[in-house]
Amino acid sequence: MPEGKKKSKIVPKKYPMPEQDPKERIKNFDEVPTGQDAETIIKEARRCLQCKESPKRKLCKDGCPVEIDIPAFIKKVQEGDFAEAMRIVREKQNLPAVCGRVCPYENQCEGNCIVGKKNEPVGIGRIERFLADWERNEQKHGKIVKPSSTGKSVAVVGAGPAGLTVAGDLTRLGHKVTVFEALQYSGGVLVYGIPEFRLPKAIVQAEVDFIRRSGVEIKNDHVIGKLMTVDDLLAEHDAVFVGTGAGLPNWTNLEGENLNGILSANEFLTRVNLMKAFNFPDYDTPIRVGKRVVTLGGGNVAMDCARTALRLGAEESVILYRRSEAELPARREEVHHAMEEGVRFELLAAPVRYIGDENGDVKQIEAVRMKLGEPDESGRRRPIKIEGSNFILDCQTVLIAIGQSPNPLVPMTTPDLKTTKWGTIAVDAEGRTSKKGVFAGGDISTGAATVILAMGDGKRAAKAMHKYLTEDPSWPDAEAFEKAAC
């Protein structure tokens, strides 16, 4: 449909995504949105106006960190040609089934959609999800074309979204890539962090298998910094990419934090997702969840913890967050789902200390009410304590989801790798580090961010690594690096 014509006929809302009923879904770990059929997805695609590019305005495409040609793939969906649509998506996207589910598209591609100016934007994320699922279910994976070898070899540290993107892209360009991953499974946060009911692990596995089939070798159970160092890898490979993520939990450092029943979000979610604690005793990782679980934080990680706690049998799951609902950093959809499932939001409140019983188990949190002041450096209004407003909340489990820091092992064991004051690896715009031949990207260089930003970083680094390996092996000297590193 050409832009500008039949605008009055635009269906104002996205076609609804079927979902499990909230009362039922809190009893299982199955995916919440159950997916749309081909007919509905074609109708959703027909909401797109096929806008023409113009320097005067931003379009969907400009909001996608991996630069997928969105209008082109949607056009193919409008015509019912899913195979060609998927071929266009795969030109830029290594994990389509993942991004179609967890990408914060409301702030990215869909945030720029012209239809979204007056109506709901085109459901780009759900169209991408449909295509990836269609490809997997119909086994319509395009033929993998093996390029001729460049004779160069690359080591990638970490099989998260950043590392897998670099590995996939460099393999397609003819380099031999080996990924070294600390865990027994590949996927990074996609397997150990984001719960099954948001991102089924079989789907992550299928995406990883696709990348493997394209020629990437993944060596699991390889902790770089223990088993071997980045210097060892550099001795055997022509370049190294570090994508080790931000998996180190932040703590509140409040009195009583070492009481039993207080866990980091990271440990809680890893036990549930990776070690399948929800399936005890079939899997032998027990996890204890009290009647009332309090999760500290307001991001996606906090929503995942609070919703997981309900599914593990908590009678009440409470989010304690120091700002108001408008400032919650989690995706809107996750907040909405948490509310539908009965998670209680104790907003404008911050913890003061944890109180234990005679056995050393946590039994209460003391918290204080907050009000919002002027915006801080993050642009969000600063929370300010209301003196004398302290209150007590009974609880048997506390989950701390107040952010993660970069994994320190690789920087600690690679002395000439510069880090920033936040512990991230310093990189220039091309992902080059202070050490010749070593690139980095994703959460380890940006700090905890999103899947698609980690993948965007991976894409940029892969391009720069290809240039380094094939045409220009120059490297910035210390002074130039200092100026260029962000």
Q: Site residues (CB under 6 A) for ligand SF4?
A: 48-51, 59-60, 64, 66, 68, 70-71, 74, 93, 99, 103, 105, 108-109, 113-115, 122, 124-125, 128, 452
Q: What separation, in Å, do the N-terminal and C-terminal C-alpha atoms of the chain show? A: 43
What x/- string results for residues 200 through 239 when contact with ligand FAD is judged by CB under 6 A? -----------------------xxx--------------
What span, in angstroms and rounded, lies between the C-alpha atoms of 58 and 149? Answer: 39
The site partner of 383 among ligand FAD, ligand SF4, none (C-beta below 5 to 8 Å per kind) is: none
C-alpha 7: how far from its chain's center? 35
The answer to the question of residue 277 lying near ligand FAD (CB under 6 A) is no
The answer to the question of residue 454 lying near ligand FAD (CB under 6 A) is yes
What span, in angstroms and rounded, lies between the C-alpha atoms of 166 and 426? Answer: 18
- CB of residue 212 to ligand FAD, shortest distance in Å: 15
The site partner of 102 among ligand FAD, ligand SF4, none (C-beta below 5 to 8 Å per kind) is: ligand FAD
User: Phi and psi of 131, rounded to 5°?
Assistant: -60, -45
Residue 21 burial (C-beta neighbours within 10 Å; 0-12, 13-18, 19+): exposed
The DSSP bridge partners found for residue 178 are 155, 217
Residue from 65, 71, 123, 158 that binds ligand FAD (CB under 6 A)? 158
What span, in angstroms and rounded, lies between the C-alpha atoms of 259 and 242? Answer: 35
Nearer to ligand SF4, 10 or 228 (CB): 10
What span, in angstroms and rounded, lies between the C-alpha atoms of 483 and 486? Answer: 8
The site partner of 50 among ligand SF4, ligand FAD, none (C-beta below 5 to 8 Å per kind) is: ligand SF4
8 A C-beta contact, residue 368 and residue 350: yes
- CB of residue 126 to ligand SF4, shortest distance in Å: 9
What is the total residue count of the chain? 486
Tell me if residue 4 falls in helix, strand or coil: coil
8 A C-beta contact, residue 158 and residue 201: no
The answer to the question of residue 189 lying near ligand FAD (CB under 6 A) is yes
The site partner of 181 among ligand FAD, ligand SF4, none (C-beta below 5 to 8 Å per kind) is: ligand FAD
Nearer to ligand FAD, 163 or 261 (CB): 163
214: left (phi over 0), alpha (psi -120 to 50) or beta: alpha
8 A C-beta contact, residue 77 and residue 45: yes
Instruction: Looking at 227-318, list the stretches that DSSP marks H as alpha helix, in order from N- to C-terminal side.
Output: 230-236, 265-273, 300-311
What span, in angstroms and rounded, lies between the C-alpha atoms of 239 and 437? Answer: 5
Nearer to ligand FAD, 49 or 457 (CB): 457
- CB of residue 85 to ligand SF4, shortest distance in Å: 12
The site partner of 59 among ligand SF4, ligand FAD, none (C-beta below 5 to 8 Å per kind) is: ligand SF4
- CB of residue 46 to ligand SF4, shortest distance in Å: 10
Cis preceding linkage at 286, omega within 30: no
All residues at 6 or more sequence positions from 381 whose CB lies less than 8 Å from its CB, including other chains: 323, 327, 372, 373, 374, 375
385: left (phi over 0), alpha (psi -120 to 50) or beta: beta
The answer to the question of residue 194 lying near ligand FAD (CB under 6 A) is yes
Nearer to ligand SF4, 70 or 154 (CB): 70
Nearer to ligand SF4, 66 or 296 (CB): 66
Two tokens at 300?
């996606």
Q: Which of residues 234-253 bind ligand FAD (CB under 6 A)?
A: 243-245, 247
Nearer to ligand SF4, 128 or 133 (CB): 128
Rounded alpha-carbon distances, angstroms, from residue 279 to 192, 196, 276, 311, 480: 15, 12, 5, 11, 53
- CB of residue 434 to ligand SF4, shortest distance in Å: 30
The site partner of 51 among ligand SF4, ligand FAD, none (C-beta below 5 to 8 Å per kind) is: ligand SF4
Two tokens at 388?
């004398």
- CB of residue 366 to ligand FAD, shortest distance in Å: 26
Two tokens at 218?
């993944």
Q: Which of residues 321-380 bind ligand FAD (CB under 6 A)?
A: 331
Residue from 214, 270, 300, 317 that binds ligand FAD (CB under 6 A)? 300
Residue from 65, 121, 193, 261 that binds ligand FAD (CB under 6 A)? 193
- CB of residue 3 to ligand FAD, shortest distance in Å: 30
8 A C-beta contact, residue 246 and residue 443: yes
Residue from 449, 475, 476, 484 that binds ligand FAD (CB under 6 A)? 449
- CB of residue 210 to ligand SF4, shortest distance in Å: 16
What residue type is assigned to position 18 of the chain? P
Q: Which residues bind ligand FAD (CB under 6 A)?
A: 102-104, 157-163, 180-183, 188-189, 193-194, 223-225, 243-245, 247, 269, 300-301, 304, 331, 407, 409-410, 442-444, 448-452, 454
